Every structure is written in structure tokens, then in C-alpha cells.
Amino acid sequence: MKEITIDKTGNKPLYLQVFLQIKNEILQGRMKANEKLPSIRQLAATLEVNNDTIVQAYKLLEQEELVLSHRGKGTYVKSSDKELKEGGRRENNIIWDFANASPHPETFQVEEFKKIINEILDRDRGDTFTYQASEGYYPLRESIAQYLKKLSIKSNIHEIHIISGAQQGIDIVTKGLLELGDVVIIERPSYPGARKAFEARGAKLIEIPMEADGMNMDDLEKAMKRYLPKFIYVLPNFHNPTGISYSLKKRKRLLELAEQHDSIIIEDDYLSDFHFGYKKRIPLKALDELDRVIYIKSFSKIFMPGFRLGFLISPREYERRIIDAKQSADLFTMGLVQRSFDLIFRRGFWRKQLIKMEEYYRKGFYETVEGIKKYIPKEISYTIPQGTLYFWLKLPPGYHSQALFYEAMKRGIAITPGKEFFLEHKNSSYFRITYGNLKTQDILPGLEELGRLLSEFLKDFHRKDMENTSLPYY
Amino acid sequence: MKEITIDKTGNKPLYLQVFLQIKNEILQGRMKANEKLPSIRQLAATLEVNNDTIVQAYKLLEQEELVLSHRGKGTYVKSSDKELKEGGRRENNIIWDFANASPHPETFQVEEFKKIINEILDRDRGDTFTYQASEGYYPLRESIAQYLKKLSIKSNIHEIHIISGAQQGIDIVTKGLLELGDVVIIERPSYPGARKAFEARGAKLIEIPMEADGMNMDDLEKAMKRYLPKFIYVLPNFHNPTGISYSLKKRKRLLELAEQHDSIIIEDDYLSDFHFGYKKRIPLKALDELDRVIYIKSFSKIFMPGFRLGFLISPREYERRIIDAKQSADLFTMGLVQRSFDLIFRRGFWRKQLIKMEEYYRKGFYETVEGIKKYIPKEISYTIPQGTLYFWLKLPPGYHSQALFYEAMKRGIAITPGKEFFLEHKNSSYFRITYGNLKTQDILPGLEELGRLLSEFLKDFHRKDMENTSLPYY
């Protein structure tokens, strides 16, 4: 094992520094299976830290199944390439993570948030931790109604429900409104988290292909006539995974079709606050004169993914069913989180964060566009979206992105293979990349490396062989 | 309106003080419908507080639909008895709340918790707010494994899943393991939150009557042979609502029957950490040699209900399905909450809280026992349980607790009518009382008032009339 060095002046916890360095040694193959780690006492003495620091670092290694600890004997490396084999994407063996779309922790305003939390605890004391209403903390719902005006959405407080993130929003809307066997129309491709929530409730899923300006509306109309879907689940702005935004014409047509066939549109919005320098995109909900849309909003990409909070707007007629579904799901969202977010809005901290994140994403977006144009081989087809976190690329016929994923992992590059986003979940020639979790200066070098890999992959990889291989890791 | 007085030295937020006093005026009928409230500026000046304080107080009144605000005209009382009519139990028109079992906010260790949260934010910075594993933060799962040893439960880390409270535990176990049409056996009476989660998933529910030492085992055996239930949902310690704890014999029989008929027992445990001076009660899970029990643990009654965290222990064979169900429910439980709770365990703060709460509950329990014996009329039947939060009382034949509930609300006393706890949800002669949310010194006077009410209710109330009345508020 190479020497471990720690930085006691920085912000990074000591145990994490130790953990990450040893993990890297193992994953790079510099520590071999069954090799013994230094004893806790010895390493603590060498680094002049507390025993606890080493204990915690070794526990994280154990958690990731990289080491085994034998009581009284010490701690041993378990394997050096386990993660790679499992196809897992964990942050620290990855040098360029084009799979993870969450904003980099550097963008999190931890100090500001800490002040807000302390202010709430001093202000509301024990009331912060009593049972809360399932529909949410009223002042926060009011702050959200204000914020919605900026997105051109009119709303009544009774239509706004606080949720513990967008995933829960999809889950409780499904629980509250969907009956077993109901049909749900989704885009092809579409976000897998939503699909899983619908499937868990026994929905029948129908995919409608995406085009450059949204779903194919003829196919949608036919499917609606035939299946009478309960829900149409869409991401009309900066669609995941393709990055597409719907044209105004298709937005209006979608609303018309929902009205004609008595369907509910579920709009999943995570980023329409941003323009990326193009014209402003308003949510579908802003056009929803006939109350056909349930709008679900996540704050994960604008604020921090670990702050479990979001909201949904539902037509008033479903109010009771959604409150009941939320109540039977987890009673209510933590009061401390709701009260803090209310203050974040009221103090204007939210507006500042929007400006900051738009700049962060805009830079990342244009770096990625530049890097793709410069480094991605011409055999790979793609369309540059009008600003988004996601880019959707396609390998030439016969090549599978699952094989590319595996090759990329060996070089420390993470991508998301396309099959995740399709219902049939088979091999796909598509793959998704995103710059969200990368520092701006790492995007171009990362894409250069990805481009190099793609060239080699296209040259060396025997596609015939590939088609007959059942991959062991998925 | 009578004069409002506020205490600027205390811990209670000023806006809450203003809100509560005006609310009380309205609910007591001292402010009538359409009466105008003082203007914000005027009241702020009188009380020498910020305008914002009054704005916030008025908003809470609006949230509770007690006042209406007309732009430019002012704020008006909406109605004086709306809440009473709706049968709602909200804390501030209630003088003696025997319905709410959550510990009084006075017992919350807000200062200690604030220190812990700040320590986590300083230690883990941005990492606190990244995506977390759906199964939970590893060090916390480890702390929980340690804690379980004290409850005589052996567990492997992979069996422990972190959840956002017990309600979510029931919901995701149901989502992950129950198929539509599966049978779930519940106690009669039983906790309604669980019933709703099973029903939402399309389960068929079968009730087995509770006896003084647990479910009737003959009835259970017959039902199990006939229905082959997927789950048996039980609260073996301090059952809600009856307060009963299962005998050792019935616990063992329950485990045997589950093994014979290949059923999963879901054990819901919220308070078995406490003895109340009787002999120690161990969870059913501690006897579970054959891995038949999914154990769900809430911290709401020991710590604070607003701290949305709990855990479950599941046999390893269900690990993947439970992680998937958690992931599609809300991705993961907030990292800040998990990391804080881990430190709460590691620092021994948890042990201190247990000692404190046991004392709080023990006092409350014995006060309640004394009050019931002293003040509750002899026509009311009940059994004193061996320590618990809940007491289950029964009116004489022909009297309905729903009518009692309505009469009690008029006097500022909240009880929980029995029908909530039964599947058929019809009128019932049972009602539940709990002292959890009362200060110890308020228990005896409250029970004296309840006793007085009961005497009058039994004397004056025409039971014949009652049976034919369809109550408007439920």
C-alpha cells in the first residue's frame, strides 16, 4: 500500500480521506485480495489521528465489501475488481462520471443552509418536531404558490401538496389514483424511476416514441383511443434521457388529447426554471386551462438531492385521495425540512441559488457541446438539445451500449447504457451522458478520453461476437 | 376580542402566541363570524412586535380556515365552530387531549439535537446532501445492530433497512412483498394506519379478536388454514389501542403457526424498550429463530415524531425486494437525518433519552391509572394494562363512543372513538385514551373532567335516539 496522506486543514472529514485513498488503492489493483491492512492503532498513530477515524474508514470499506474484518486478526482486502464486475458505478473508482446527473457537492450551500436550520430550531423549538399535516406546512405551500407565479402557473393553496421528493410524488399519485390494470402511457425512452412506480402498482405501460419535438402525436392519439390511459407521464422540458423539449404545438395537442380521452397528464419537472440562453420554457402546467395536469416538481437538481423535498400541484378534485396516499406512505414530510425551505424562499436564498446554478449548468452545457463536437467520433449520432443536463448518443448498428459501458468502466469513465430507459430492457445502441456531477474544467478532458475510447471501441470490438454474448453483469 | 398578551422572554415563537390566542377566541365563540380582526400594523404596534409576526399569525388562522382575508379590506372571522363540526381534533381548542399519543414537545431535546446537526454539517459538509443508498447509511445500520442487542435481537447489517418512519415501513413491505388479493391477518381492534396501507395495495383483511393475552389462537389457526395469509400484522407489546402485551405462550404459538403456514409476521414495535416497572418485554423478533418476522421500529414515541426515521429488520431473502420498494417510494431517507441519528446512538444521547422518556411515561401511566380508578364511572369497563400509552374503555351496551366523542369535543376533551380501530368502521362502544401528549400535572384534572362528562353522558343521553341518528360529522 502506498503512503496515505491526509489534509487536516481542509473541510473533508479525515475518515473519508483515509477511506477514499485505501479504496482507490484496492480498485486500482495496487492492493491485492487477502492483503492485510495496517492495524487501526498503527495507522492512527502514523497519521496522528484518533483511532475512531480509522475505525470509521475501515467500516466504510467493509460496507462496500472491499475488505473483510476478522475479529482479533485484522482487516483484509476482499477483492480488487468486485465493483467493476458488478457494473456498479461508485464515485471513487470513476475518474469521469458522465452517468450521475446530481450537481457536484461543491455547489451545495452548506453554510447558508446551516444558518437557516439553526434559525428554524431557535424560532420554532419543539414545534419543529411535532406531527405535521400530510398536505404540508401551510406557509411553505404559500411560498410555493408565489414561486409558481414566476413559472407562469396559477395555483390555489389547496392544490399544492408537499412531498419528500419527486419519486414520492409519482408513487403517491399512482397509489391514490391508479387502479390495477389501468394503462399508463410513457415516452420511449423514459425515466426508469417513474416506470418502476407505475409497474409496482400493476399498471399496463405503453410506450410512445419521442421525436425531436416531443412524442409522436399520431401514435399517441391511436394509443389513447385504443387503451383509454389513466395517466400520460411526460417530461416536456429537458426530457430525461434525450434532452428534448416539446414544441408548443405538441404541448397543446397533448393537452387536447388528454381532455378528449379523459386522461391525467403527469408532468415531471426538474429544471424548467433554466433557459440556458435559449428562450424561456414554461411548464405544461402553465397552459393547463382545463385542469388536466398533475405537476410534480423536484428540487434535487437546483438545490441538493439530499434535501428530501418537492411538491406537486393536483386538480382540486383529487385533493383528498392524494392526502390519503401521502398519509399512508409516510404520514408527513419532516417539519424541519419544510420550515427551512419556507425560509429559503422567503429570504430570497432560493433566487440566489437559481442564478448560481443556472451559471453552473450553462457553463457545463456549453463545455459538453464543445467536447462532443470536438472529440466524439463521427460514427456516433446525436442531436444537441437546446440546453439540458442530458445528451443522448447512438452507436452505429450492431454495437451495444452495454458493452461500451463495461469498457468505459475499465477506464474510469461512467456512462448510462440506454437499455435502462426502455420498457423491454434489452440491449440498446443508445447511451446517455451528463456533465452534472463534473467540475467544469474536467468536462473537456473527460470527453476527450471518452472519444478516444469510442474510437477504439468501434475499431476493435467484434460486433458479431457481442451479439451472441450474454453479459454476466446485468 | 379580549386583549392579547405575549411573553417575549419564553421559548414560544411570538407569532404562535398571537395565533393561539386569537384561535382560542374564535373557537370559544368570543369572536363571531364576520368580525374584523385588528389590522396587522395596528396589532403589531400594540404588541410592539414586527409586522411579520402578525402576518404569520394571521396566515396560520387562514390556513385553518378560521379567518378570511380580503385584499385591502382586512381579515375577518370565518366561523366559530367549523372545527367542532368537522370533528377535527386540533391542539388548541382542546384543553385535555387524551387522543394524541405523541410525547409533549417539552420532552424534545431541541438543544442537544441542534448540536448534533451542526456537528454533522461541519463534519460531512456537502456529502450530507448527496444521494444516499436506499437501504440506508452504513454506520447508522451498524449502530442499530448494536442497539438491537439490548433488545435481545441478533441481526446482520444486510437485514437492517432505514426507513422514513414506521408508516413507510409498513407501506414498503406491503409494496415489495404483497400481491393483489393476498390475505393479511390483523388484530381486532388494530392500528388503522397499517390497515390503510394494506388496503391501498388491494389486500383482503381478516380480523382475529384480541384477548387479554393476545389474539385468540384458535381463531387464528382456523383463519390461517382457510386463508393462507401472506402477512400477520401484530403489535405484541403494548398493543394499540388496547394496551395488551402478548403472553410468552401466545408469542411462541404465533411463530409456530407462521412457520407451519408459511406466513410472514409483521411486528410493529414503538415502545418495547420500556418496562414501566413490570418485567421486561422483549420483541417477538428476539424469539424468531426461524426468520418469520419482519420487525418495524418507530422512534416517534421515544424521540420526536417529527424526526422522520425508523428501521426494519427483514429476513435476508427479501432484501432486494425491500430495497427496490424503498427506492421506488422515495429513493432514500435524508442523509442529514440518518447521520444525526447515528451520532445520537454513538454519543450515548439515545440512552439518556430512553431513561428520560421512561420516567416521563411511567409517571403518566401511573397518574392515568389512578385517575381512571378514581374518576371513571363504574358503568365503564376496562382492563388496566401492564404499562403502556393506551387505555381501552367500553361504554355500556347501546352507547356509542362516536357520540361521546362529539360531546367531549364540546368540553375541550379529545378521545379517540373505537370505530377507527375496526375493519367495518361502524359505531362502537369502545374508546381509547392516552396521556402521551399531556403534562403530568394535567392528567388527573383531565380525567376528573372526563369522568364528570361520562356520568352526564350516561345519564342524559337517549340511547334509542342515538342509534337512529346518522351523525353529520363523519
Q: Which residues of chain B does A124 touch, with a Cβ-Cβ cutoff of 8 Å?
A: 13, 16
Angle B463-B469-B474 (CA atoms, 0-180°, nearest 5)? 115
- For residue A189, the one-letter residue type is P
Count how many residues are written for chain B. 474
pLDDT of residue B69: 81
Tell me the CA distances in angstroms from A10 to B121, B123, B471, one per residue in order: 14, 11, 66
Taking one residue from A and the other from B, the number of pairs with CB-CB distance under 8 angstroms is 179
The answer to whether B167 contacts A328, with C-beta atoms less than 8 Å apart, is: yes
Subunit contact B12:A330, Cβ cutoff 8 A: no
Q: For the residues A90-115, what does the mean pLDDT come to?
A: 84
Task: Note the pLDDT of residue B470.
Answer: 39
**Element holding A69 (H helix, E strand):** strand A67-70
Q: Do B129 and A171 touch (CB under 8 A)?
A: no
Task: Give the pLDDT of residue A319.
Answer: 94
- The answer to whether A175 contacts B56, with C-beta atoms less than 8 Å apart, is no
Percent above pLDDT 70 for chain B: 92
**B268 chain-A contacts, CB cut-off 8 A:** none
Question: What pLDDT, on the 0 to 100 scale, is given for residue B462?
Answer: 54
Distance CA B267, CA B286 (A): 11
Residue A88's pLDDT is 40
Among the ranges given (A236-240, B429-433, B436-440), the one the predictor scored with the smallest mean pLDDT? B436-440
Find the closest chain B residue to A303 by CA distance: B129
Query: What are the strands of the beta sheet with B214-215, ordered from one edge?
Result: B160-163, B310-313, B293-298, B264-269, B231-234, B183-188, B204-211, B214-215
Task: Please answer whether residues B389 and B369 qualify as being in contact, where contact means their C-beta atoms are separated by less than 8 angstroms.
Answer: no
**What is the pLDDT averaged over residues B362-380?**
96
pLDDT per residue as tens digits for the range B10-55: 667 788 888 888 888 887 777 877 788 988 888 988 888 888 889 8
Q: Do A56 and B139 touch (CB under 8 A)?
A: yes
Q: Which amino acid is at B314?
A: S
Least confident of A176-180, A334-338, B136-140, B275-279: B275-279
The reported pLDDT for the residue numbered A470 is 39
**B183 has which bridge partners?**
B204
pLDDT in tens, B100-124: 998 988 889 899 999 999 999 999 8
| pLDDT tens track for A137-176 | 999 999 999 999 988 899 999 999 999 999 999 999 999 9
> What is the C-alpha separation between B358 and A473, in angstroms, rounded?
50
The answer as to CATH 3.40.640.10 being correct for domain A125-347 is: yes
What is the tens place of the pLDDT at every residue in A297-321? 999 888 888 989 999 999 999 999 9
Mean pLDDT comparison of A16-20, B75-79, B316-320, highest-scoring range:
B316-320
Checking if the pLDDT of A87 tops 50, the result is no
**pLDDT at res. A468:** 41
- Give the residue from A54, A59, A296, A330 with the most B CB atoms within 10 Å of its CB, the best one to mutate: A330
| Contact flag B114-A123 (C-beta cutoff 8 Å) | no
| Mean pLDDT value across residues B157-180 | 95
Chain mean pLDDT for chain B: 88
Tell me the nearest-neighbour CA distance from A62 into chain B, angstroms: 9
pLDDT value for B93: 66
Q: What is the pLDDT of residue B469?
A: 41
Q: What percentage of residues in chain B have a pLDDT greater than 90? A: 58
Measured CA to CA, the distance from residue A339 to residue A309 in angstroms comes to 11
Nearest CA-CA distance, residue B106 and chain A, Å: 7
Which chain B residues are closer than 8 Å to A117 by Cβ? 117, 121
Pick the CATH number of B110-347 from 1.10.300.10, 3.90.79.10, 3.40.640.10, 3.40.430.10: 3.40.640.10
What is the pLDDT at residue B12?
A: 72
Q: How far is CA A276 from CA A71, A354, A359, A369, A465, in A?
A: 55, 12, 8, 12, 42
Treating both helix axes as pointing N-terminal to C-terminal, what angle do B349-375 and B335-346 enclose, rounded to 10 degrees? Answer: 90
- Architecture field, domain B352-468: Alpha-Beta Complex (3.90)
Q: Do B330 and A200 touch (CB under 8 A)?
A: no
Hey, of B64, B321, B331, B347, which one would you mutate to test binding to chain A, going by the most A CBs within 10 A of its CB?
B331
Of B13, B139, B306, the CB nearest to A59: B139
Which of A106, A164, A168 has the CB atom closest to B126's CB atom? Answer: A106
The confidence band for A86, taking pLDDT boundaries of 50, 70 and 90, is very low
- pLDDT score at B83: 43
- In CATH, the architecture of A1-80 is Orthogonal Bundle (1.10)
CB-neighbour burial class of residue A165 (10 A; exposed 0-12, middle 13-18, buried 19+):
buried
Residue contact A131–B102, C-beta within 8 A? yes
Q: How far is A25 from chain B (nearest CA, A)?
A: 21
Provide, as residue numbers in chain A, all residues whose Cβ is less than 8 Å from the Cβ of B62.
Answer: 138
- Give one DSSP letter per residue of A231-248, joined into a string: EEEE--SS-TTT-----H
Instruction: In whole angstroms, give the CA distance from residue B377 to residue A462.
Output: 87
Q: Are B159 and B316 in contact (CB under 8 A)?
A: yes
Do the chains contact at A168 and B335, CB–CB below 8 Å?
A: no
Domain boundaries, chain A: 1-80, 125-347, 352-467
Contact A171 B121 (CB under 8 A): no
| Whether residue A78 has pLDDT greater than 70 | yes
Q: Is the pLDDT score of A222 beyond 90?
A: yes
pLDDT of residue B263: 98
3-state secondary structure of A37: coil
Pairing of strands A214-215, A293-298: unpaired
> In whole angstroms, what is the distance from residue A240 CA to residue A391 CA?
9
The whole-angstrom separation of Cα A383 and Cα A381 is 7
Residue pLDDT, tens place only, B186-198: 999 999 999 999 9
* Assigned fold of A352-467: Aspartate Aminotransferase, domain 1 (3.90.1150)
Answer yes or no: is pLDDT of B152 > 70: yes
Average pLDDT in chain A:
88
Does the pLDDT value for residue A91 go beyond 50? no
Give the span between the Cα atoms of B200 and A179, in whole angstroms. 10
Shortest distance, CA A422 to any CA of chain B (angstroms): 17
Closest CA to B293 of B240, B235, B332, B225: B235
Average pLDDT over residues A86-96: 55
Asked if A14 and A8 count as a contact pair (C-beta separation under 8 A), the reply is: yes
Please report residues of A whose CB lies closer than 8 A to that of B114: 118, 121
Residues of chain B with Cβ-Cβ distance to A16 below 8 Å are 124, 127
- Which of A428, A434, A372, A432 lies closest to A401 in space, CA to CA? A428
pLDDT band at B311 (very low <50, low <70, confident <90, very high): very high
**A384-406 pLDDT per residue, tens:** 988 889 999 999 998 999 899 98
Task: Give just the sign of the alpha carbon dihedral A89, A90, A94, A100.
Answer: positive
- Give A-chain residues touching B129 at CB under 8 angstroms: 105, 108, 110, 304-307
Q: Looking at the predicted structure, is the pLDDT value of residue A474 above 60?
A: no
The pLDDT of residue B91 is above 50: no
Cell (9 digits) for B81: 365552530
Proportion of chain A above pLDDT 90, given as a percent = 58
Contacts of B178 in chain A (CB under 8 A): none
Of B16, B142, B306, the CB nearest to A132: B306
Query: Looking at beta carbons, which residues of chain A come within 8 Å of B304?
Result: 126, 129-130
- Identify the pLDDT of residue A469: 41
Contacts of B126 in chain A (CB under 8 A): 105-106, 108, 110, 304
Q: Which of A13, A305, A333 sits opposite B131 (nearest CB)?
A: A305
Which amino acid makes up residue B400? Answer: H
Distance from CA of B134 to the nearest CA of A (A): 12
**How does DSSP classify residue A420?**
G
Chain A contact set for B180 (CB, 8 A) = 180, 202
Residue B6: pLDDT over 60: yes
Disruptive mutation site among B91, B114, B130 for chain A (greatest number of A CBs within 10 Å): B130
> Are the Cβ atoms of A125 and B102 closer than 8 angstroms?
no
pLDDT digits (tens, 9 = 90+) for B331-350: 999 999 999 999 999 999 99
Among A363, A101, A445, A107, which Cα is nearest to A243's? Answer: A101
Amino acid letter for position B461:
F
Q: ipTM of this complex > 0.90?
A: no
Partner residue opposite A307 with nearest CB, options B114, B129, B333: B129
CA end-to-end span of chain B:
32
Are B458 and B377 a contacting pair, CB within 8 Å?
Answer: yes
Q: Is the pLDDT of residue A441 over 70?
A: yes
Kindly report the three-state secondary structure assignment for every residue of chain B. Answer: CCCCCCCCCCCCCHHHHHHHHHHHHHHCCCCCCCCECCCHHHHHHHHCCCHHHHHHHHHHHHHCCCEEEECCCEEEECCCCHHHHHCCCCHHHCCEECCCCCCCHHHCCHHHHHHHHHHHHHHHHHHHHCCCCCCCCHHHHHHHHHHHHHCCCCCCHHHEEEECCHHHHHHHHHHHHCCCCCEEEEEECCCHHHHHHHHHCCCEEEEEEEECCEECHHHHHHHHHHHCCCEEEECCCCCCCCCCCCCHHHHHHHHHHHHHCCCEEEEEECCCCCCCCCCCCCCHHHHCCCCCEEEEEECCCCCCCCCCCEEEECCHHHHHHHHHHHHHHHCCCCHHHHHHHHHHHHCCHHHHHHHHHHHHHHHHHHHHHHHHHHHCCCCCEECCCCCCCEEEEECCCCCCHHHHHHHHHHCCEECEEHHHHCCCCCCCCEEEEECCCCCHHHHHHHHHHHHHHHHHHHHHCCHHHHHHCCCCCC
**Which residue do the cell numbers 425491500 mark?**
B322
Taking 90 as the threshold, does the pLDDT of residue A64 lie above it? no
User: Distance from B468 to chain A by nearest Cα, in Å?
Assistant: 28
Could you say which of B60, B132, B329 has the minimum Cβ distance to residue A306? Answer: B132
